[in-house]
Structure 1
């Protein structure tokens, strides 16, 4: 997928769908494009700040994993140009993100935290 094929998020709810499409396409740059330049992504104990660190994080993740199942993403909670988006993953993990409407009307995440549930012996 090249940059010209990438659709923008016109609603905050579009971000989770676009993330899933790009992750399954192995498009690390496309994932980075869903974030503001100074965004923060926290997954477990890993914290990536800014496009360079987020790119490194997703490049490493995509090298290890190639299948990203669809997520349950309820409607965003909006307050003007800011929205909270949520996603429940099939494995029970929950992701909560803060998105901001950009000057061109599109939406980008500026905070993304994936809460990893503790592993249960014999169940994971």
Structure 2
């Protein structure tokens, strides 16, 4: 059986890996509502982190703090306006990383919030 170090380095092709060792390093946080959270992958899968959550509505810049800060690289953030059925209100929103632990966004409607997915390491 492979040691955790062998799994992390990924260079030994002569030993088997147990499910427990494969799971080591994964971190999942999901708020009770499921609307905010993150999934962190272990180092042997590139240490990627996927985060999700909600953005407040405003016609001015909105600074949103991520559930956790990225360690070294905030790759991108994707935002999408929400919609209330039969409201007839639509808009657009744009966002950019702001440091390793937040992003700034601005929308075209003061009545629509948004959701985000952020990718980084």
Fold in common (TM above 0.5) = no
TM-score, with structure 1 as normaliser: 0.28
Higher helix share goes to which structure? 1
Higher Cα radius of gyration: 2
